[in-house]
DNA sequence: CAAAACAGGTTTGCAATACAAACTTGTTTC
DNA sequence: GAAACAAGTTTGTATTGCAAACCTGTTTTG
């Protein structure tokens, strides 16, 4: 019986917005909290400010998160929330990853 | 109890050579066969020739596959084999993916 | 048998990206 | 009140993924 792995074409269908590690990290954090501040996100991901800023912008453009700008006293604080679309995209992405992982316990 | 997801920093450590979908598809195919011809690889992945060529070159440069050039009669045939390093990299990658996937069966 | 079509790949050119350095705007400290 | 600092954004750059164009040899065809 010929070894029959996952469909290689399916791999090419992965959502590149989600697939990029920096953004996947961001979405992963956002998925587990209601709202996350820019600075917290930066600390927890280790991304540079510039990098984090552009990735969140890209995620917002994709409709996967929304940006909330507020003031903490008189200093401005930017926070993010994952959207339903973002959650859905992440779910789909996870499903696709599962599909391409070999079943647990191969020789 | 606060939801405690996967470590976001770990996501940034993913091997970008493997992480790129086209190359992941290639490695996935190579992992399940001893040797695979260029043309078969092209058909099964759906990649363009140019694209396939450059990705296999990158994988070879990374030491993840080796290229075998031979003749079938008088026409040249290029084939590829995954190396031990390639197999190891793929294994590690799979492990990392598993670590970042939420446990099966969440609400 | 010459030329035209074709096969198997590789190289080139280009648009898109990820990333951090430099900048901006406002606030706090000295 | 000048200088340092904070929170982000924009700019500049090197890298990348991709397919069109190219190359070398083989097969088909008029």
Based on its alpha-carbon atoms, the radius of gyration of chain B, rounded to whole angstroms, reads 17
In the prediction, which pLDDT does A5 show?
A: 78
Q: Is the CB of A54 under 7 A from strand C?
A: yes
Neighbouring CB atoms inside 10 A of A26's CB total 29
pLDDT exceeds 70 at position B105: no
Contact A25 B11 (CB under 8 A): yes
Cα separation, B38 vs B79, in Å, equals 5
Selecting from B5, B31, B97 the residue whose C-beta is nearest the C-beta of A28 gives B5
Contact in structure between A66 and A51 (CB atoms under 8 Å)? no
Selecting from B25, B26, B101 the residue whose C-beta is nearest the C-beta of A98 gives B101
Nucleotides of D under 7 A from a protein CB: 6-11, 16-21, 25-27
Digit-coded pLDDT (tens) for B7-31: 999 999 999 999 999 999 999 999 9
In the prediction, which pLDDT does B97 show?
A: 97
Q: Chain A partners of B87 at a C-beta cutoff of 8 Å?
A: none
* From the candidate CATH numbers 1.10.10.350, 1.10.1200.10, 2.60.40.420, 1.10.10.10, the one assigned to the domain spanning A8-100: 1.10.10.10
Cα separation, B50 vs B73, in Å, equals 24
């Amino acid at each position: 019986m010929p070894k029959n792995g996952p469909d290689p074409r399916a791999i090419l269908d992965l959502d590149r917005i989600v697939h990029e590690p920096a953004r996947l990290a961001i979405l992963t954090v956002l998925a587990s909290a209601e709202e996350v501040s820019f600075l917290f996100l930066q600390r927890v991901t280790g991304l540079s400010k510039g990098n984090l800023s552009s990735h969140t912008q890209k995620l917002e453009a994709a409709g996967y998160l929304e940006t909330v700008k507020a003031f903490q006293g008189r200093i401005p604080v930017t926070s993010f929330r994952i959207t339903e679309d973002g959650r859905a995209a992440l779910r789909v992405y996870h499903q696709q990853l599962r599909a391409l992982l070999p079943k647990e316990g191969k020789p």
